Chains A and B, each alone.
Chain A
Amino acid sequence: MSKSPLIEVKNLKQYFPIKTGLFKTEMLKAVDDVSFYINEGETLGLVGESGCGKTTVGRTLLRLYEPTAGEVLYEGTPVTDKNIFSMRKKMQMVFQDPYSSLDPRMTVEDIIGEPLDVHKLYSGKGERRDKILHLMELVGLNAEHATRYAHEFSGGQRQRIGIARALAVDPKFIVCDEPVSALDVSIQAQVINMFEELQEKLGVAYLFIAHDLLVVHHISKRIAVMYMGKIVETGTADDVNYNSIHPYTCSLMSAVPIPDPDFIRGRQRIVLEGDVPSPLHMPSGCPFRTRCKHACEKCAEAMPPLTDRGNGHMVACWVK
């Protein structure tokens, strides 16, 4: 490819030290050697079960955590401690919980205006106000809401405030960490549509982290599936959903509750045995082998690399 992707993540590792005894500390490998890229104006969906490290990937990307190893490149420039302040003008985040991610003592105007203040993106009070009102309009909030406090809004509206705050610095890339999972079903569609419309209008790229596979499939162009800190399969949304290859992805897809009685009752579900192993005692080789029907000797020896199965559909499995 001639042009470098907007975001490129190379061999990212994020280990957390966990005290397991009085003098003993073990490393919890939350993210273990993860690489992916996101093109301009594109959405990459990141799915996986709780504890698989998907949120940590998002946070490490924005240096909310200092990565243990690996690199994040923005348009080819490495994101480091030194340039993170200016990088955050280009990369932003929307959080899962619209109740705890907004300061209850700030008005909507101040919440959305804070990034503008931090990065000094206006020349006078009038311009600040204009920018805030423009952002509010962009996410579908009324101008008269500007002087209200977060608690006066419903979950969906709060999430809109959070999105307006992320958009304030005019970023090219937003990490969306489970942005709709705290919302009521009837509100989710409003917010999903808004994400899509904003992308069309502003050309912003998303890393869309969620556990609801139908939502992720709907919004994403490409999807990456994580299991215990590793990406096990990635490809176009349709490939990952309809032609899944990795046994974990297959069982994940077959377990998604689909709101269509005839379809779902005719479906063969692959129910996985057992639970996710403790991340402190990761199985050797492929982390999924303890629950995998196809596991063989080789799986215990080494982690399979991601190999291309055509059309950029990458799968990490020795057997399939």
Chain B
Amino acid sequence: MEKEYLLSVQDLHTSFFTDSGEVHAVNGVSFNLDPGEILGIVGESGSGKSVTAYSIMQILESTGKVVGGKILYKGDDLTKWSSKKLDKFRGKCVSIIFQDPMTSLNPVFTIGNQIEEAIKLHTDKKGKEASDRAAELLSLVGITDPEKRLRQYPYELSGGMRQRVMIAMALACEPDILIADEPTTALDVTIQAQILELIQELQKKIGMAVILVTHDLGVIAELCDNIIVMYGGRICERGTAREIFYNPKHEYTKGLLKSIPNVNNMKEKLIPIAGTPINILNLPKGCAFCARCENCMKICLDQVPVELSINENHKASCWMNVKEVFEAEGGKK
């Protein structure tokens, strides 16, 4: 029998049906997640990283739909579940924290109200028990004076504090998986450090798996065991953090790493990736990155590259890595 993963996404296709036609936001994404693993999904806007996360939670906008593939949670395909079953799944098995803590809390309910809602929905705790649990969660995420905070409204808290409340809500039922969609993008560096530290600590304490979706390679480098790099709705490279950062094998990843300031290139000129980010309304036939790739070959324009194992911890989808193709094209390296 095949190994049963905590979460297994298989050939996921998600599309949005808009006035200008079907937009293929995610085109065949597959990955597995083990319990306790921290997986980073990195990519720029339009890469499909957030849509992948929302597909797992089944919280796509009304125009969006999973049009192909499976999402197996402990072996069970959740794309086929009824909405009632999904209600039990969200929050209890998988929860999500969003980028903007300012808009993801309801301004007319107290913090306590909003945390208790999740507790009451998924456990049989009621009244005092539920509010005790809420207070316990707030102290778990490092908020002092939790009893007072429970009675406060979101506007009374700072950005970092609100993100902590979001995390407390997400952890209310000790989910197996926490999806963090750009959890620190809206926060300042010192507050970001606090939140990242918190996620790391909780992950160790509770042993949940974390999917961290971000565009910030620094955050990814710090936290993640494994990394998926996405571009144009496809995975272009995946591997352990060290493999991705020190041995990148996809032209996009290579370009990305050269284009950001780092500790060891402060005095050098940055090498930007040419061109503009991909327009997913108009995906190319072949490799999504071909229009911006320096080493683009003929085959790249026509055929989507196959995923090739570089070593046991590293896979990349770039024709440059396929030796026969590379030589047949007379490529230069």
Contact = CB atoms under 8 A, between A and B. Distances in A.
Interface of A: 49-50, 154, 156-157, 184-190, 192-193, 196, 211, 213-215, 217-218, 237-238, 251-252, 254-265, 269, 271-272, 275-276
Interface in B89-124: none
B262 A259 contact: yes
A214 B245 contact: no
A171 to B, nearest CB: 24
A49 B44 contact: no
Given A185-B217, A218-B270, A252 B222 contact: no
Contact of B260 (A154, A259, A265, A275): A259
Interface of B: 44-45, 158, 160-161, 188-194, 196-197, 215-222, 241-242, 245-246, 255-257, 259-266, 269-274, 276-277, 292
Nearest to B277: A184
Nearest to A270: B193
Given A255-B189, A261-B241, A154 B276 contact: yes
A263 B263 contact: yes
A185 B190 CA distance: 21
Contacts of A255: 189-190, 192-193
Nearest to A273: B194
Given A261-B221, A272-B193, 4 more contacts: A256-B218, A258-B221, A259-B245, A271-B193
Contact of B277 (A154, A211, A237, A269): A154
**Interface core residue of A189, A255, A259, A275 (most chain B CB under 10 Å):** A259
Contacts of B160: 275
A187 B273 CA distance: 7
B190 A186 contact: no
Contacts of A214: 218, 260-262
Contacts of B276: 154, 156-157, 187
Nearest to A241: B266
A185 B257 CA distance: 10
Contacts of A258: 218, 221-222, 262-263
The A interface, classified by DSSP as helix, strand, loop or mixed, is helix
Contacts of B217: 185, 257, 259
Nearest to A214: B261
B218 A193 contact: no
A218 B259 CA distance: 12
A189 B190 contact: no
A160 B66 CA distance: 38
Contact of A190 (B241, B263, B264, B272): B272
Contacts of A189: 259-260, 270-273
Contacts of B196: 257
A188 B222 contact: no
Contact of A252 (B190, B218, B264, B273): B190
B191 A185 contact: no
**Interface core residue of A156, A218, A254 (most chain B CB under 10 Å):** A218
A188 B259 contact: yes
B197 A269 contact: yes
Contact of A217 (B158, B245, B246, B266): B266
A119 B220 CA distance: 48
A156 B275 CA distance: 10
B266 A218 contact: yes
A260 B270 contact: no
A260 B241 CA distance: 9
B189 A49 contact: yes
**Interface core residue of A185, A256, A264, A265 (most chain B CB under 10 Å):** A185
A256 B261 CA distance: 12
Contacts of A184: 44-45, 215, 277
Given A189-B272, A260-B245, A269-B197, A213 B262 contact: no
Nearest to A272: B190
Contacts of A157: 276
Contact of B218 (A218, A264, A271): A264
B218 A257 contact: yes
A189 B256 CA distance: 9
Contacts of A271: 190, 193-194, 197
Given A49-B188, A184-B45, A264 B266 contact: no
B163 to A, nearest CB: 11
Given A185-B217, A252-B190, A265 B222 contact: yes
Contact of A186 (B193, B255, B263, B264): B255
A96 to B, nearest CB: 14
Contacts of A265: 222
A189 B219 CA distance: 18
Contacts of A264: 218, 221-222
A262 B242 contact: yes
B313 to A, nearest CB: 13
B272 to A, nearest CB: 4
A160 to B, nearest CB: 11
**Interface core residue of A185, A186, A271 (most chain B CB under 10 Å):** A186
Contact of B261 (A186, A211, A215): A215
